[in-house]
Amino acid sequence: DQQVKQNSPSLSVQEGRISILNCDYTNSMFDYFLWYKKYPAEGPTFLISISSIKDKNEDGRFTVFLNKSAKHLSLHIVPSQPGDSAVYFCAATPYGQNFVFGPGTRLSVLP
């Protein structure tokens, strides 16, 4: 059973608009959440993280929102750029345990 779910396999957005990638989790013990970006044939690149004691973390064009009661987090990219086209993985970890990755969402930013 997947503990970290990314229910949208793909997403297309116009350049300059907002991209919203969603992630749901089932394990209430998760207390740290991360987003990674991956290009084909490369390793994932860390983007941004958030601790469970926060509900928002921002870094430049990237903002992650955490809704613990709904067990949901989202990554907002504003404005979206063609170079943002990649697969985005959501990951989570309970304290003292391993990372659990979602299946990924492929984002296409159209010029």
The residue ranges that bind another protein (CB under 8 A) are 31-32, 34, 36, 41-46, 49, 51, 89, 91, 93-99, 101-104
Q: Is the dihedral of CA 65, 89, 22, 68 positive or negative?
A: negative
End-to-end CA gap in the chain: 37
Least CB distance to another protein at residue 28 (A): 17
Least CB distance to another protein at residue 40 (A): 9
* CB nearer another protein, residue 36 or residue 63: 36
Using an 8 Å Cβ cutoff, are 74 and 22 in contact?
A: yes
- What is the rounded CA–CA span in Å between residue 107 and residue 96? 31
Least CB distance to another protein at residue 64 (A): 13
